[in-house]
Structure 1
């Protein structure tokens, strides 16, 4: 293995080891909470679907890249490649939409009664299942193009223009018009969601700043602040996810935008872009596990109670 293959294999192996167990743990933790304790909050439901989207990204992007770097060949046929890229594009789209929905809901949750967002406090939980179903439907619909243009092998082993080389599959666009139109539509779609997330996060930060100043003035009174503290922690966690998403996926989108300016995209560029795309799906569950109380509680191991040593030797057992 050359240096590039070693770095690629190590990087994707690390991301896969973090991504799959942590996202599976989040899904199992919320499922266990739902079955044994109480109804999940809307934020928990959104986080669960976000974990499912991240998990799908790992299986459809990180695992194939890792196997290819380790020397595995001919992993998929044409149908396999089409389905692989379809589900990856769908999971990537769902990831950004669920992160955006989470930041929007958290902004609505902490908004004061005088805010224009206050009217959504009861509407989002009421119609949450419809909203999530709509996001899935839209994401599936917007991810059709890989089915049309993805192949396992190329004719005569010649790489045509406007081709993305993933080593295990090829994404080949028929002409410049299709290539640039799909590329720009994906870029501006992601950019619009990132702008919305940024606006909601800035709004949350402003409210947290105002709340912090108010707490300083009322520090002597601690009554009724537990709820606001919980909302503050949740808001900070959501803002952290949005910042991470913006950093990682903007790196991905920047490389994608650069790719639209050249005829053939080098495998190294595709590897770097893929690494940025998967990075969020691996870091996101770590943030959720650390900050979400329901998920965090599942990590606690009940320690056996140590009984005081008894001087009565007749009570001891073997």
Structure 2
């Protein structure tokens, strides 16, 4: 094995292990909060969908690549290749949808001053829940095209009209079919990305107006503290910014991969690796911004001192 292949394999292994551990840890935390109803927020339900989508993405993209770089070639038959690619594409779409709905949900909340005393939050939560489920269904439908065009490399060596994707191959189509295929897959994602950017811009504008309003209020300890809504908004904005950055890199790589007749080894690996960046970073980003997660994981580290026990 060459040095470049070894480095790529170790990178995929690291991203896969870190992503699986981080997402499963955070998923366990949110499930515990949901079952105990201990400070469970409306956005936590959407975050659970995002984490599940991250886990499916890491498993379907990182595990096969790690196994293939360890020397196990031709690990998929036709159905295995189709199913792993199908699940990865669905989970990727669910990740985009969950991030988009998080930003829309938070934008609606902070834009209403009296949401605590109205049924706006309840109605918004129901609407977001239906949208999350609908997003899964739409991507299940659009991603079914993988069952038509994808096939395993093993057993198709004599077929020359195939585009190589490491352990899978795609049937080459005419330019018109490629455009229709790309439109079908990217259409829902573009709509969700537009919603995400609109909601993020709305939240930034709301926070800016709030900051200007606070400049006219006397600076006291109570007023200088950021509200829970403001902290949640900044967390989602950070999450959206990270997602858009990694999604742009991944989309550019995927676009070049689709347009080139014979994509190179480096481009294929870069496209595969870029799809793992956000699912790996996301759980640690959420844990660093969620005070509940920090206190939950540090709870067993703090014990009362002997002097405190004697005083009690």
TM over 0.5: yes
Once the two structures are TM-superposed, the CA of residue 268 in structure 1 deviates from its matched residue by 2.1
Q: What residue in structure 1 maps to residue 243 of structure 2?
A: 245
1:100 match: 100
Structure with greater helix percent: 2
C-alpha RMSD over aligned residues:
2.6
Aligned to 1:204: 203
Q: Which has the larger radius of gyration?
A: 1
Mapping of 1:193-272 within 5 angstroms?
Answer: 193-223=192-222, 229-272=227-270
Query: Corresponding residue for 1:308?
Result: 307
Structure 1 Cα separation of the partners of residues 308 and 88 of structure 2: 59
1:283 aligns with 2:265: no
The correspondence of residues 122-161 of structure 1 with structure 2, limited to 5 A, is 122-153=122-153, 157-158=157-158, 160-161=160-161
Instruction: Tell me the distance in 1 between the aligned counterparts of 2:235 and 2:174.
Output: 43
Contact 1:89 1:143 in 2 (8 A): yes
Deviation (angstroms), 1:281: 0.8
Whether the 8 Å CA contact 1:61–1:278 is kept in 2: the answer is yes
**Residue 314 of structure 1: aligned partner:** none
Supply the distance in 2 between the matched residues of 1:114 and 1:305 (Cα, whole angstroms): 41
Residues 42, 128 of structure 1: 8 Å contact kept:
no
Task: Work out the CA distance in 2 between the residues paired with 1:10 and 1:251.
Answer: 21
Judge which range, 192-201 or 22-31, deviates more: 192-201
What is the total number of aligned residue pairs between the two structures? 306
> Do the aligned residues in 1 keep the contact of 2:77 with 2:154 (CA within 8 Å)?
no
CA distance in 1: counterparts of 2:108 and 2:162, whole angstroms: 43
Structure 2, gaps ≥5 residues long: none
User: Where does residue 295 of structure 1 map in the other structure?
Assistant: 293
Do 1:204 and 1:235's aligned partners in 2 also have CA atoms closer than 8 Å? yes
1:224 deviates by 7.7
Q: Which runs of 5+ in 1 are unaligned?
A: 311-318
| Alignment correspondent of 1:41 | 41
Instruction: Report the alpha carbon displacement of residue 300 of structure 1 after superposing the two structures with TM.
Output: 1.2
Distance in structure 2 (CA, Å) of the matches to 1:128 and 1:78: 36
TM-score of the aligned structures, taking structure 2 as reference length? 0.88
